[in-house]
A = this chain, B = another copy of it.
Amino acid sequence: MKIVLLGSGNVATHLGSALQKAGHEILQVWSRTQVNALQLAGALSVAATDELRALDSSADIYIISVKDDAIGEVASSFPFRDKLLVHTSGTVPLDVFGDDQLTCGVFYPLQTFSKHKDISFSEIPVLIEGSDRAASDALAVLAGSISRTVERASSEQRAAVHLAAVFACNFSNHLYTIAKDLLAKEGLDFRLLLPLITETAEKIRSLDPKDAQTGPAARNDQVSINKHKSFLEPEPALLEIYTLMTNSILRSRDPQ
C-alpha cells in the first residue's frame, strides 16, 4: 500500500520502519514541526512536509500518530474526504473523525515504543477498527502484513486494553524505577534484579498471574510487611504505594 505518515514520534518512527520493511511505500511524512518531519523522512528516505494542505494525494492510507489530544485537530484539517484516514491511539475513539470523513479507522499497535530501542513488529498485537467493512478489511490486511496478531476491537474495548496496558506496562516500569532507586541507596546494582524481573514477566505465560503471586502480602506475612513499612517511613510517597499495593494483594487472596 501507499502510505503517508502524519506524526514523527516514537510510534510513527517504529511503525514507518516496519511498514517499509514489509514492502509498503511510505510516500511522505508530515509533522507540524518541520525539523521533526525532516528527521523521520530522512530516516525513511521519503519526502517531508509541515503543511497538511501539501499532503500527497496519491496514498491509500493516511496514518495519524500524534499526541492523543492533537488527533482531532489534525483530522479536521485533513484535506481529503475520499481517503482512508486512521489514528494509532489506544484511548481515542473512532468518532474523533466526526461525520465528515467517509472512511476512517484505528490501527493501534499494543506495545511500548522507546526512541532508542528496536523492536520486532511481528510480535505486536494490532487492534483495528474501521468505519465500514472496506476500511476494516484494508486495516486487517495492512496489520497482517507486519504482525502475527490482528484483533478487531471496538473503541470501548480498545480503551480497556489501553488502560490494562497502563497498569501492566507503564506502572510496572515505574516500579522498576523505584526498585532501582532503593538499591542505589544501598550501593547495589539494579542488574541484580533483572533475573527476577524477567522471571516475573515470563511465568505468567504459563501461570495465571493470580496464581503466580508471591511475596509477603501473598503470604499474609505481617512481620515482613511491617519491617518494610518501617524501612519506608522516611519516604512517605513510597510508603503510600507500598501500603496500597500490599492491601490490594491482601484483598485479592483466596480465603485460606
Contact = CB atoms under 8 A, between A and B. Distances in A.
A169 to B, nearest CB: 4
B112 A209 contact: no
Interface residues of A, number: 95
A133 interface: no
Contacts of A125: 192, 195
Contact of A224 (B68, B124, B224): B68
Interface string A43-74: 00000000000000000000000011100000
Interface in A149-182: 149, 151, 153, 156-157, 159-180, 182
A57 B214 CA distance: 33
B196 A169 contact: yes
B165 A196 contact: yes
Interface in A212-245: 212-219, 221, 223-224, 227-228, 231-232, 237, 240-242, 244-245
24 contacts: A10-B214, A91-B216, A111-B196, A114-B203, A114-B211, A116-B207, A124-B195, A149-B192, A149-B195, A157-B188, A159-B231, A160-B183, A161-B183, A166-B228, A167-B242, A168-B176, A168-B196, A170-B213, A170-B218, A171-B245, A174-B245, A174-B252, A201-B201, A241-B245
